[in-house]
Structures are given as structure tokens and as C-alpha cells.
Structure 1
Amino acid sequence: MNAQLIVIIAGCILAAAIIGALLFLRGYSGKFTFDTSTGTRPRASEGEGSTSGVKSNGRFKLLTAGVGTVFAAIVAKLWSMQMVSSDHYDELAEKNRTRVVTTPAPRGRILDRNGEPIVDNRSSLAIVAYRDLAENTVVVRHLANVLGMPYMAVLRNIQDNTEGAQSQHTIASDVRRSTIGYIMEHIDQFPGVSIAARTERSYPNGTLACHLVGYTGTVTQEQLDAQDELSDEERAGKIVYQSGDQVGQSGVEYYYENLLQGIRGEQTVRVDADGNVTGQAGAVPAKPGSDIKLTIDLKVQRACEEGLKKAFEVAENTGNSPSGGSCVCIDCTNGEVLGMASAPTFDPSVFVGGVSSDAWSQLNDDEGGHPLLNRVIGGQYMSASTIKPFTSLAGMEYGVYTAAMSSTCTGWWTGLGEAWGKKCWLESGHGVRNLETGIRDSCDVVFYDLGKNFFYDEDNPEGLQEMYRRWGLGSKTGIDLPSEAAGRVPDSAWKEEYHKDWSADQRAWNAGDMTNIAIGQGDILVTPLQMAVAYCGLAMGGVEWTPHVLLSAVARDGEGDAYAYEPKKRLTAKIETEGAMDVVYRGVHSMIYEESPVTAAHFTNLPVEVAGKSGTGEKDGEDPYGWFIAYAPFDDPKYVVCAMVERGGYGSTCAMPAVRTVLGALYDAPDDQTYTSGDSTR
């Protein structure tokens, strides 16, 4: 019987009982009494005055009116509940009996520019159950034995509410099909246990491009708390996460989460008074996320990683101990990143289904080389001699060291006094060198003189720093990846603040600071991506495009692109001094073909000419840091390749093989030379 009808009937019975009782009481009260003691006829004992009988009669009328009013209100309310609001109360009752739980959606795939998958999805099977299974210790123990898991681990997974109290809880994911088959064959022994189809991230190319694409993981409590703190305006258009969701945690997976994350499905379940699921009702299927195409070309990406491995081998063979490195290839005409490699690498598949605490500790151990760090965008290093083309432009632009000036290198420079002498990397000396030949031979003395002249120039004492910033150093490039570092272009204000605990004399910017940054040493810091983008600008006559890794978002039906990335100009570095750029162009071209016959031999079999610069950074107590940056073709630039090897030795020895390997892949011209320690350019 309908619950509301029962309430109405009960109310009517209650009201009737009250009225009956009142009428019964009415039969024993009134304003007349009868005196039968004398045997005479009845007579009125009292009149109509203000007597107790009259008062009782008034109270009875008042009580009757009150009861009638209450009864009328009850009847009206019950009629309203039954006739007017019945749908509303039916809905509330239904909500008490049902819950809506969400089902995960497959993430979009990550493809290279040609549609080849870098990150894919694969089907997997999971063992799931509702939380009330925890009460059946026999089944839980039997299931633990079959899965080969500790009893307490299975019990903990069943009781874990991170996926929602009424959702099916994942006991084990990616279960072997033989185990699934056994459970299905003996399903009567596992009441309450179900098999759920899931999709897991897969990596068909293993660790290839791992830093670029990143990894996924369960949404953290910190991320949920940060989401709750957003205003309604800030939350508009963003995905609202629930505990247990899988989200991007680094790389492309994180940056393009809104594209890759699908739309959850919904499952309506029936529950009992204790909240235990008793059945299922309707369902709305989940919608997968969008596939995205990256600017990455897998052929170039493999070359970046293979080249970096070769660079490590060369470094080790020459007595160095490389600890990390990076290699990046950019299309300088539009900013598209064609390849990006960082070493050491990590396996993103260890994060599928949740990373273990042991694996996480290994990935973050200082002794492990920090494999989660993308050194292309997050590693900060001294630029070494790769900055000398921009130092040269500064000297010519501000007139402190013109193209007509020269310096004599004996291997030891005393421009600031003998007590402050500095050596050139070639201790036997280069002889007389100007800016063009100074770039070619990487002569430090030329740039010591240039830095000294800036320090004592009253009009532009920090013109050198201004020129570095003009090419984007000291600021983020704006690449569409998380955790990019900004680097540092030091000046007097920075030193004053950074070393505020030092004495005034120690905090003061001095000539030695300026000569250090002129050769890419001292306190200057750059990322490999910053230097690659700066050389893109150099190759393009001053125009730098913002580097990017997104090419397009694929339409959900797989036909065409729903969105295509529009390249953006980052900056235009204008050089007013006539002929200054030509001086630099001749210097970086001759560095490849004239400085060292050993270096030149690696590039002569390419179908195009190349320009570039090597660099070797020094850090106390460590092997040198090697750099090599090149662009090609020289007469019509298209590609820039930058490599850096931590503690790898001279740049022209250890980093050059990585760059040459990538150029070989771009032009189908593998290097036919062997690598020796004879390459001497710093």
C-alpha cells in the first residue's frame, strides 16, 4: 500500500478517535443537573448566570473548534502531499533507494605528426566488487589466494572508498586472462565479484619521448583541495575531478589534460538502508577524450635519443663520466619541436595502475640522476661558448667592441691586472683574433676584452645583459609544457639581492662578473631549449617563434582535426648595427668547416651546409659540460639542433655526435666518421 495513503488513513483514524472522545465527554457535562432526592419532578438547580457549568460549556466549544482546525490542517496537508506533491515525494523516495556513480572514460591517444601512436590505450580486465564483500571473509580469502595477493591488501582495496562508496571498488587491475578465466569458471565461489573492462595507457615505443609525453596518476588530495578553492568563474569550462580519477601529472599528459580527459559515464544503482548496492538501473556510456597530434616526428625523436646515447658513449670513451643530457630539434620557421630527448629516461608504464613507493623513491633518488627531470626545459646550466655570437652582437651594437677591433691571445689574459688573470681554453694562445675569428675558434680573450669594455662603459654598463634578454634569455620560452625554467641573466641588482648577506664590497657587481658572463660562465644560467630558440632567432634574422609541441586535436569521429595550433611569434630581436649579423653568420659557419678538420669531416657528407657553435662549461670538482648547437641549411635555415651533455667533456667531442645524428636523420645522410678525442673546439 502507498505510504502516503497509510499516513492519510492513520490521520483520519486519529482525528476520529479524538472527536469520539470529546463527544463521550460531552455526554457527562452540561448546564443542567437533576435532583431526585425529594421525589418531586426535576427542576433546574442553576440559572444562566456565570456559573461553572456555563464556563465548561465554553471550554468545550473552544476545544472542539481547535480540534476541528487541527483536523482540517492535517487533511489539507495530507491532500497536498498525496495529490499536489506526490511526484516530488516519489522522487525523494527514489533518490533514497538509488545512487548515481560514475564510470571512467578512456583518455585520448597521443600521436606523432604522422599519426603514429606515441601513447596508446589497451584493453585490460580488473577484478571489482562492492564494499559489502568485505563482510564475506571466506570469499575475500579465497580471492586473495587466487590473485596471489595478501589477504589484507585485498580487504583494503575492497574497503577503499576513493572510487566512491557506491562504486565498484577495484581489487586488482590488469589481471592475467588465465586468472580471469578461472574466476569466471568458478563464479559461484565468488559471489559479489565482477570482471570490469578497463583501458590502460600503453607505450608502443617503450621509453621513447617519455619526458615529453609525461605520465598519468591518480588525482592527489592536493589537486582536489586546489579545485575546491576555485571560484565558480575559475571552474567554468574545466573538468571537475573526483577522488580516484586518473589525470595527467607531467608533460603533455598534464598540459593538455582538458583535451585528453574523456567525459565520465554514469551508472544508476539501487541501494539498501545501509548504502549497500542491491542492483543496477540505467547507464550513460562514457565518452573518450580527444586524440592529439604532436609536432614530434618519431624518426627525428629516435635520432635525438640515439644521438644522446652515442654522445654518452663518446664521453665515457674519452674518460668522462656523463650524468645526464638533452637533445632538441626545432623547426626554426614556425617553432615546431620535432624531437626532444632527455637522459636518463624513465618508464612511464610504471605509473599505470599506481606507482609503488619503492619505484617512486628510485625515480627521485639523488643517486639516480633525477630521471623525471626534463632537462631540455627544466635543466639550468652555464651556456659556455654557445653564447659568444650574442656577446659579439652586443659589442657591435653598443660600440664597445666593433668588427674592426681585435685582441691578441697568448693563452693568459691580464686585462684586469696580473692578480686577476684568466686563461683561454687554448693555453698556447690563438694569436690575433677579431669577433668573427673569435667565434670560429672560441677564443676567450676576445670576449674578456669585450666584457671588460662593457663594465667600464659609462653609457651602457649593462648593455651585454640587455642583449641577452633581447634574444629571450633569462625568461621562459612559453613552450606548451609544464615545469619550464626561466634561467638567469645576472646583473648588479640581482647580485645585490641574491647575496644580501654578504658585505657591500662582495655584493657589488665587478669587472670579473662581466667577463665571466661574456664567455657564458659565472652566474648566468640557461636551459637547452632557451639556447635552441635563441639560435632559431639567429638563423631567422632575429625572429623567434614560440616553441610548441601541439600540432592539432583530432576530431572525435577521427575525421580531420577539430583544432589546429597556430604558430605565434615570440619576439623579434632587432640589430641596428649594419653588418653585425653577417659577422656572426660567418663566424658560426667557419666554426663548422674551418676551425678543426676533425669537426669538419663529420659535416662534409651532408647534402646541405651547416652553421653552429660548440661550448664547454666548467664547474668546480666536475667534468666539463659539453654543448653543441647547429642550424641547417646555412643559406636557408629550416632546422636547429641543440645538444648538451652533463660532465661529458668538450662540446665538440661529446655533444657534437648527438647533433650530427639528428641532422643525419633529417637529411638521410648518416655520419660516416668515427668519433675520437681529437675534436678540440670548446
Structure 2
Amino acid sequence: MDAQLVVIVAGALLLAAIVGALFFMRGYKGRFTFDTAHGTRPRAAEGEGATTDLSLKGRLKLLTAAVGAALAALGVKLWSMQMVSADYYEQLSERNRTRTVTTPAPRGRILDRDGVELVTNRPTLSLAAYRDLAERPLVIRHLSNLLGVPSITVMRSILDYSQSAQSLHVIASDVRRSIIAYIQEHPTEFEGVHVIEGSMRTYPYGSLACHVLGYTGAITQEQLDEQKNREQVGTEGKVVYESGDIVGHAGIEAQYEELLQGIRGERTVKVDSTGKVVSQAGEVPSRAGSDIKLTLSLKIQQACEAGLAFGIERAHAAGQAAPAGACLCMDVTNGEILGMASFPNFDPSVFIGGVSNEDWERLNGEKSGTPMLNRAIAGQYMSASTIKVLSSLAALEFGAYTTSQTSLCTGWWTGLGEAAGRWCYNHDGHGIQNLRQGIVNSCDAVFYDIGKSFFYDASDSEGMQKVFRRWGLGSLTDIDLPGEFAGRIPDAAWKREFFSDWDDADRTWNPGDLLNIAIGQGDILVTPLQMAQVYAGVAMRGVEYVPHLFHSALAPDGSVATTYEPRELRRVKSHNDDDLELVRGALEGVIYEETDAITRHFTSLDVRVAGKTGTGEKGGQDDYAWFICYAPADDPKYLVAVVIEQGGFGSASAMPAARTVLGAIYDSPDTAAYGGDRTR
């Protein structure tokens, strides 16, 4: 044993040291002395009766005692190593000739609420080798020719120093079975090349729900560094990753990484003195991650994507740019997201095996419409007329408008003077309108009067912003997806800070700012999910649930391991319950009273619907189309929210998208014809 050899050598050196010390360190003292006063003639030393024999015998006794002590110490140590610590040193020896390497585990599947596979795994075959294959150039050349890749690429894979020297280094993944068969038929030509079984993500429905599902890829160095930092404060219960591991990078794949990521297996290999693997000693198989059920319904998800595509198609037919949009459907009674679509979309499979720089730039570039952006939770837009439900509630609460008050709409509003006049979207005017009619007909004049009153007459000049925030605008919804944006509710303090480079006069809050946000224009920013939450709260008379996509996690035997319990996000109290009922009734009136161009698309449904259109303006672009609705109007269950960038009027493009989703839910497709509707 190496340790025993070290002890023996140390004992021999100790013995030599003792002998040297006896002969050379003891000093010389003979039986003669020199007379320094009378020359160099020696004289007898008085009083010394020692002889040569006696001196030699004393030295031998000392030497014998020293050697005996050294041999005794050495014997005791050897006995201790051989008898007492034999097991310990045997373990050290075993460690020197064995190594334990880990093997990756299959990720859990992602299913819809009914168990339909949205993301699964398919078996793959890969070629791998230990690092010593680099010493066989002929085999590398054969592999290079067979795989159709440069030999230097094969060599780099074999010599990948980011992986353990005793691990099998993957040379090629997802190799064709014909290549595998050829290698197995010619084992002598490919000695040292191993065929290993694995799994790879697959998407049965292509790009469907790609923004929700996300994608996977190799773990980044930043993530590994972050793991090291966590290890310093403890990682009990955490998955420990290695270089080359596949992890979730977006969507559900990232949000529930620790559930989806399985438990790594272990393989014990024996190595020689140079560290080369010579055999395999044992293996503990890996364990797949947990399957996850989402709240998504495949049927409704497909309807959201088809509806969004139809709405964009309608916008294009009307001459609008309509490059992008979002559509989502939720259950207002518990916050479950039943469908969530964003366009442009992407194919998650492009990330399998690593994404090229060209594809990455395309997926994130503005020229291609930033396909990676989930516009349902991260698209920030003007809310347009969909905000009028909250403007109305704020006006009633803070005395900026009453239920008996009216406004005269001539199409051109001059409440702040002719120089500051503003158009209603209906340039012909709506005539005399009360608050309910203002919501039903989306009359801008009514809400201009509300904005003006908040600046000059209301009990709180920022009461409108307070109501917006109370209903959740300007804050995150806490949906279980990464990348959500909070939007923005502007006020006087925000304007002064945000436009800090402007002159004081331009940074000052003015009546025009309140007129803008009262109709959902100006500097207000909301996400489709935030507005969906607002309307869900209106439908549920003030109760909003946390929106979520996680339904349950499944145990290996298929049983339910854990289930999501709905949580209230907020409970909004209006100062008067009648105000909320006025708004709810007005939203039903939008569908059945405003114009036949909307009504005819909903009469074929077996349930009544409540909703609101919206058309947002942005300089230099076509109008942005909004439509949000819920059904049944008297006992709400389903909500659909749609925004189409530069889609024109909300009723012309966003409404057809939402109607497509309701048609799928109630098995009642829309049969009414679409005309040149200009309802805002």
C-alpha cells in the first residue's frame, strides 16, 4: 500500500538519523590530550581509567537501544496500519481506483388539464466516449466520416474539459439509427465508442402555447455560478446541477424547473493509475422528473391561437398593419388560465441541441416582431376605452360625475376651450349621454368631462389613479410565469421625475393628463393580463383571484402528488354596490345595445355576454384594437381578453378573435358576416 511504504521509508530514515547522531553528534573524547604549552607531544590524561574496549561497549549498548526503540516504533505503526486501520486504508485504496459519475434524468412531461401531452420526451441514441479515445486518431477519423462532421469537432467533444474525465463525453446526439447500426456491426473499427440511450424534448403541437411552455437548453455558466453562491448558504432540497445539464430557460419549463428536473443517476467506474476507465463497477438508475398538469385546455388554447390569427387576418383585410397581438382566456371563479396566446410565436424545438446566433437574433429582434415576447403578460399598451369601467367607478366614488349627470357630445369637445378641443371617436357626436350610455357607446365626451372634473372639482384630484391601483393596475398579478411586467399609472410625481430634462412648465401635471388617462390614453401602460384581472374582478363583484397555470403535479405512479389551491389576489370594495352594478349592466349593454355590428355576433350563443371594446392611439401607427368580455353575464365563468397591435377598431379585429374563443367554449361558432364596422 502507498501509505505503508511511506511509513517504512520514514522509519528507515529515522534509524539512519539515530546512527549518524551516535557517531558524529556525540563528539570525540579519547584517552590522550595534547600539551599545548610544550608542543604537540601527547601526554597521559590524569584520572581517566577508561580503555578502548570499555568505550566501544558503551557505544554499542546505546546503538542497540536506539535501533531497538526505532524498530519497536516501526513495528507498532505497521501493526496499527495492518490490523487496526486496515479497513480505513483499504477504503482509501478503493477510492483511488474507482470513480462515481452521474447520469442525467429525463424531464417530467407537461400536460394540459385533461392529461393531453403538450411537452413530452422521445427516446434518442447518442454516441459517446471516454477522454482516452482522443489517443486513437483512426477511430476519430472513422467517426468524422460517418457523422459528416470535421474530425476536430469530434476531438473537441471528446476533450471537453467542462465534464469529468471519467464521464462519457457525448460526441453526437440524436444519431440516426442507420449510423448506430453500422457502428454496432463494425465494433473493431469503433473500439471505445459507446451508444447511450437518452431522451429529448418534443412538442406534439409544434409552436402551440410556446410562450407558456417555454423552452430548455444547456445550463449557463451564470446559473452554475449562482448555484455555487447558494451552496455557501445551504442547498438542502435543491437540485444540484453540473455543466452540460439541460434546464428550463423560459415559461413553465423555467418556473417549475425543480419539479420537472429529475434525480440524477450514478455510475461507478474503475480506473487505472492514469485515471483511464477500465470497467464499470455498478449503476444506480436516474429517476424522471414529475409530470405537471397545467390549467390550460388544449381546445381553448387552440381557440385562442386561432382567434388571434383570425383577428389579425380581419385587420389585414381592413388595411391595418396588425403585426402582433395577444389573446387569453381565464376562469374568473378561481384564476385558472385556460388559454394564452401571443403572436408572433416561435418553435421551442429550435432550442434543442443549442440555438444558433442567427436564430437567437431573429427570435429577439424587433425586425421579426420579437417572437420571444409573451405579449399577454409583458406587452405594455395603452388601455384605450377598456379603462372606462374604472374611470366611471372612480368618478362616482370621488364625486367627479354622478348617475344623473349628462354630457352633450357633438363629436368635438371644447370643455377646456376651443384651442384645447378634442374629438370623440364618433365625429358626428352621440348627443346627450349619461354615464351608463357613455360606457355603452364609449362616448369620449363623457370621460373628458370626468377627467376635467377630477382636475378641478373632485374631492381627490388623484382619485382616478387610486382606483386604478386599487384594482391592480401598475402592479404585478403574481402569475406563475417569469417575465411579467407591471405597467404604469402616471401621476404628477411620476411626470415630474420621468421628464426631468424638460422645462418645469412641461413637467407640470395638467388637465390634459387626466383627460388622457380617463380614456386610457397618454402615459398609462397596462398588460392584457392586468386588464383581464380588472374585468374578472368586475364580473366577480370585486373579488380577484391570483392568475395561475399550475394545476397539479403527478407522482411516478400517475397519482396526484400536489394540487394548486386558488388564492384571492384582492377583494376590491366600491364605495357603493350600486356603482358596480351600473358598470356591469353597461358592459352587457355594449354587446346588445351599442350597435348591430356587434350584437349579431353574440345572439347565436346560448348565454348572455358582457364586454367592452377599445381603440388605442399611438403616434405614427395604426390604432390598437382591444376587446374584453365575460360570460355568462349573470353568472360569470369565462373571460376572454384580446389586444391586436395596430389592428384598427376593437370591434373590427379584437372582437372577432374573442368571439372565436367563446364559440369554442360553448360549441357555437360565429356564423354572422363581418362588415366594415367602425365601433370603438
Q: Where on the TM-score scale, by shorter chain, does this alignment land: which range?
A: over 0.9
Matched with 1:670 is 669
Matched with 1:580 is 579
Q: Partner letter of residue 486 of structure 1?
A: A
Matched with 2:281 is 281
CA deviations on 1:365-389 (whole Å, 9 max, x unpaired) are: 2211111111111111110001101
Aligned residue for 2:501, secondary structure, equals: coil
Q: Partner letter of residue 93 of structure 1?
A: S
Relative to structure 1, the CA distance from residue 45 to residue 264 in structure 2 (aligned partners, 3 Å threshold; closer, same or farther) is same
Are 1:439 and 2:452 matched, yes or no? no
Matched with 2:82 is 82
CA deviations on 1:250-289 (whole Å, 9 max, x unpaired) are: 0000001111110000111122333322221111110100
The equivalences for 1:236-251 within 5 A come to 236-251=236-251
The equivalences for 1:292-311 within 5 A come to 292-311=292-311
The equivalences for 1:585-604 within 5 A come to 585-604=584-603
Aligned residue for 1:189, secondary structure, equals: coil
Matched with 1:363 is 363
Mean Cα deviation higher: 266-275 or 292-301: 266-275
Q: Partner letter of residue 657 of structure 2?
A: A
After TM superposition, give the deviation of residue 58 of structure 1 in Å: 7.2
After TM superposition, give the deviation of residue 24 of structure 1 in Å: 11
Distance across 1 between alignment mates of 2:425 and 2:491: 25
Matched with 2:679 is 681
Mean Cα deviation higher: 421-430 or 269-278: 269-278
Checking the alignment, whether the CA contact within 8 Å between 2:400 and 2:458 is kept in structure 1 is no
Matched with 1:650 is 649
Matched with 2:209 is 209
Matched with 1:38 is none
Aligned residue for 1:118, secondary structure, equals: strand
Distance across 2 between alignment mates of 1:672 and 1:463: 44
Relative to structure 1, the CA distance from residue 668 to residue 79 in structure 2 (aligned partners, 3 Å threshold; closer, same or farther) is same
Distance across 2 between alignment mates of 1:87 and 1:30: 52
Matched with 1:413 is 413
Q: Partner letter of residue 305 of structure 1?
A: E
Q: Partner letter of residue 446 of structure 1?
A: V
Checking the alignment, whether the CA contact within 8 Å between 2:587 and 2:610 is kept in structure 1 is yes
What is the aligned residue count? 667
Checking the alignment, whether the CA contact within 8 Å between 2:398 and 2:459 is kept in structure 1 is no
After TM superposition, give the deviation of residue 456 of structure 1 in Å: 1.7
Mean Cα deviation higher: 325-334 or 56-65: 56-65
Matched with 1:514 is 514
CA deviations on 1:354-413 (whole Å, 9 max, x unpaired) are: 222222122122211111111111111110001101110000011111111111111111
Aligned residue for 2:367, secondary structure, equals: helix
Distance across 1 between alignment mates of 2:256 and 2:638: 26
Distance across 1 between alignment mates of 2:56 and 2:510: 110
What is the RMSD of the two structures over their aligned residues, measured on CA atoms?
Answer: 2.6
Mean Cα deviation higher: 333-342 or 132-141: 132-141
The equivalences for 1:223-262 within 5 A come to 223-230=223-230, 232-233=232-233, 235-262=235-262
Matched with 2:615 is 616
Q: Partner letter of residue 103 of structure 1?
A: T
Relative to structure 1, the CA distance from residue 657 to residue 12 in structure 2 (aligned partners, 3 Å threshold; closer, same or farther) is same
Q: Partner letter of residue 572 of structure 1?
A: R
Checking the alignment, whether the CA contact within 8 Å between 2:214 and 2:252 is kept in structure 1 is yes
Relative to structure 1, the CA distance from residue 496 to residue 237 in structure 2 (aligned partners, 3 Å threshold; closer, same or farther) is farther
Checking the alignment, whether the CA contact within 8 Å between 1:4 and 1:82 is kept in structure 2 is no
CA deviations on 1:314-340 (whole Å, 9 max, x unpaired) are: 011000111111110000000011001
Relative to structure 1, the CA distance from residue 435 to residue 12 in structure 2 (aligned partners, 3 Å threshold; closer, same or farther) is closer
Which TM-score applies when normalising by structure 2?
A: 0.93
Checking the alignment, whether the CA contact within 8 Å between 2:8 and 2:74 is kept in structure 1 is no
Q: Partner letter of residue 681 of structure 1?
A: T
Relative to structure 1, the CA distance from residue 456 to residue 144 in structure 2 (aligned partners, 3 Å threshold; closer, same or farther) is same
Distance across 2 between alignment mates of 1:438 and 1:62: 118
Distance across 2 between alignment mates of 1:432 and 1:18: 116
Are 1:161 and 2:161 matched, yes or no? yes
CA deviations on 1:24-76 (whole Å, 9 max, x unpaired) are: 99xxx99889xxxxxxxxxx976764989799887776666555544443333
Relative to structure 1, the CA distance from residue 317 to residue 188 in structure 2 (aligned partners, 3 Å threshold; closer, same or farther) is same
Distance across 2 between alignment mates of 1:533 and 1:487: 13
Checking the alignment, whether the CA contact within 8 Å between 1:308 and 1:325 is kept in structure 2 is yes
Distance across 1 between alignment mates of 2:29 and 2:71: 25
Matched with 1:499 is 499
Q: Partner letter of residue 263 of structure 2?
A: I
After TM superposition, give the deviation of residue 240 of structure 1 in Å: 1.6
Are 1:539 and 2:575 matched, yes or no? no
Unpaired segments ≥5 residues, structure 1: 34-43
Checking the alignment, whether the CA contact within 8 Å between 2:328 and 2:339 is kept in structure 1 is yes
Mean Cα deviation higher: 381-390 or 491-500: 491-500
The equivalences for 1:421-500 within 5 A come to 421-457=421-457, 459-500=459-500
Checking the alignment, whether the CA contact within 8 Å between 1:255 and 1:482 is kept in structure 2 is yes
After TM superposition, give the deviation of residue 22 of structure 1 in Å: 10
Mean Cα deviation higher: 178-187 or 102-111: 178-187
Matched with 1:186 is 186
Mean Cα deviation higher: 72-81 or 192-201: 72-81
Distance across 2 between alignment mates of 1:627 and 1:52: 122
Aligned residue for 2:404, secondary structure, equals: coil
Unpaired segments ≥5 residues, structure 2: 33-42
After TM superposition, give the deviation of residue 656 of structure 1 in Å: 0.9
Aligned residue for 2:230, secondary structure, equals: coil
After TM superposition, give the deviation of residue 345 of structure 1 in Å: 0.9
Aligned residue for 2:195, secondary structure, equals: strand
Aligned residue for 1:187, secondary structure, equals: coil
Matched with 1:36 is none
Checking the alignment, whether the CA contact within 8 Å between 1:8 and 1:75 is kept in structure 2 is no
Mean Cα deviation higher: 232-241 or 500-509: 232-241
Distance across 2 between alignment mates of 1:330 and 1:193: 52
Aligned residue for 1:544, secondary structure, equals: strand
Checking the alignment, whether the CA contact within 8 Å between 1:164 and 1:243 is kept in structure 2 is no
Aligned residue for 1:670, secondary structure, equals: coil
CA deviations on 1:602-651 (whole Å, 9 max, x unpaired) are: 11100101000010111111111111000000110001000111111111
Aligned residue for 2:466, secondary structure, equals: helix
Distance across 2 between alignment mates of 1:592 and 1:84: 90
Checking the alignment, whether the CA contact within 8 Å between 2:4 and 2:81 is kept in structure 1 is no
After TM superposition, give the deviation of residue 301 of structure 1 in Å: 0.4
After TM superposition, give the deviation of residue 439 of structure 1 in Å: 0.8
Matched with 2:125 is 125
Distance across 1 between alignment mates of 2:94 and 2:88: 10
After TM superposition, give the deviation of residue 418 of structure 1 in Å: 2.0
Relative to structure 1, the CA distance from residue 14 to residue 431 in structure 2 (aligned partners, 3 Å threshold; closer, same or farther) is closer
After TM superposition, give the deviation of residue 478 of structure 1 in Å: 0.7
Which TM-score applies when normalising by structure 1?
A: 0.93
Matched with 1:339 is 339
Relative to structure 1, the CA distance from residue 14 to residue 408 in structure 2 (aligned partners, 3 Å threshold; closer, same or farther) is closer
